[in-house]
Amino acid sequence: MLRPVRFAALSVLSVLVLAGNLCQAQAQDRTQDRRVPSSQAELRLSYAPIVQRVQPAVVNVYAAKTVQNRNPLLDDPIFRRFFGVPGQQPEQMQRSLGSGVMVDSTGLVVTNNHVIEGADQVKVSLADKREYEAEIVLKDSRTDLAVLRLKNTNKEKFTTLDFANSDELLVGDVVLAIGNPFGVGQTVTHGIVSALARTQVGITDYQFFIQTDAAINPGNSGGALVDMTGRLAGINTAIFSRSGGSQGIGFAIPANMVRVVVASAKSGGKAVKRPWLGARLQAVTPEIAETLGLKLPTGALVANVAPNSPAAKAGLKLSDLIVSIDGQTIDDPNAFDYRFATRPLGGTADIEVQRSGKPVKLAVPLETAPDTNRDEIVLTARSPFQGAKVANISPALADELHLDAGAEGVVVTDLADDGTAANVGFQKGDIILAVNNQKIARTGDLEKASKTGTRIWRITLVRGGQQINVTLGG
């Protein structure tokens, strides 16, 4: 009776010994690529070699514009006459500070559009403290990017950064942010890629940002986000902050989008040329996904297709669900907009759609949107439209303002802050259909209608796809 028990005990002991030997062997396998540093030099890990290589290509950008101090009381002629205050108000210089990246050895710098927006003067300071006047070569508000060119460089060659392929970034990759936070001077911070393809940031038209926890603060805008190969992964653009300082949530424009804007500037263009789809897309909600029989609410649903557009030529149809472009998965319309906008002009993009539950592959031509006969004017006559800039809708303008593909008529493209149009509530993107029962087909029609001098204005417009009737005056 005792033997079986003794035999069993020995068996358990043998198993434990074998298990111990196995664990030890596995531990040795895991530590084969690890070892105790054998010298102090091996403990000295540093990003310094990368920083020394890329720092000369990161610059500080100083922009200034002249504005007039505006006191509302000075608009009253009685107040001015009584107090003897002159009507001309003193000027003041407003300054902004940002960063930039040298992307061409001849002196081409990319920065954020909001850094130099409205500037009368732009200066660029290099890492070695040299300063240059700069001219604005190209501004692209849709991406919040701008390209500058240094003046009077005497044909000097400058250090530049090469572009990384931002599509190869992975969450967890180490990155460095270089810029001029709070104007203290060029500063380097480090962190990781916290997330990719952030689409709910609300900064630019193309919502597809790199998120990082590298410290980014005011003044870093336009600076470099650099990967561990020393290449430009993105342009630091914005932070999420309740205090105004870094809270570990920063956003950068991916290098692949920056590359498109820089290429347009190098080609001599005053505007960025990018492909046009000619279709309006909408997000897939859980309710839509259930209706379509989808497991997940992903993809971009086609809501409208303009006649004779690239989408129409490719055979894209209403209710098609776009799921990929050139093999890259599409999660939502913002992802598609970014992917499509970064494709080079010419050739085609291969798009896969789900149509009635079946996969269909389409080849969409990569061509620019027609942009003819805008006839953009500013309305100055005394009317509800005074101070509004309006234009005839072209396919390019419809794409720019996110209007329905194929929209026609006259659209508000800008509003003067002190104009009547802004005060009565007109908005950028409003399409004016009729004024006092007169159809508005061209900007000339609206200009003529604004000069009629009537006391009552009956206006029909479209805003956000909805027709609105407004009566002003009386």
Supply the residues annotated as catalytic. Answer: 114, 144, 221
How far apart CA 389 and CA 23 sit, in angstroms, is 75
CB 272 within 8 A of CB 249: no
| Residue 392: HSE in the Cβ half-sphere, 13 Å Cα cutoff | 12
How far apart CA 293 and CA 218 sit, in angstroms, is 46
Structure tokens at 141: 């508000």
State which amino acid sits at residue 387: G
Helices (H) and strands (E) in the chain, counts: 11, 25
Would you tell me how many other CB atoms lie within 10 Å of the CB of residue 231?
Answer: 17
How far apart CA 26 and CA 205 sit, in angstroms, is 52
CB 213 within 8 A of CB 249: yes
221 known member of a binding site: yes
Nearest to 411 by CA among 396, 397, 431: 431
Structure tokens at 188: 């380097």
How far apart CA 409 and CA 92 sit, in angstroms, is 40
Residue labelled with tokens 């007169």: 438
220 known member of a binding site: yes
Structure tokens at 82: 């009584």
Q: Map residue 294 onto helix, strand or coil.
A: coil
230 known member of a binding site: no
Would you tell me how many other CB atoms lie within 10 Å of the CB of residue 130?
Answer: 12
Nearest to 127 by CA among 219, 60, 53: 60
219 known member of a binding site: yes
Which neighbouring-strand residues pair with 123? 62, 133
246 known member of a binding site: no
Under 8 Å CB-to-CB from 5, ≥6 apart: which residues?
none
Q: Map residue 472 onto helix, strand or coil.
A: strand
Q: How far is CA 38 from CA 41, 48, 351, in A?
A: 8, 22, 55
* Residue set of the binding site for substrate: 114, 144, 219-221
* Residue set of the binding site: 114, 144, 219-221
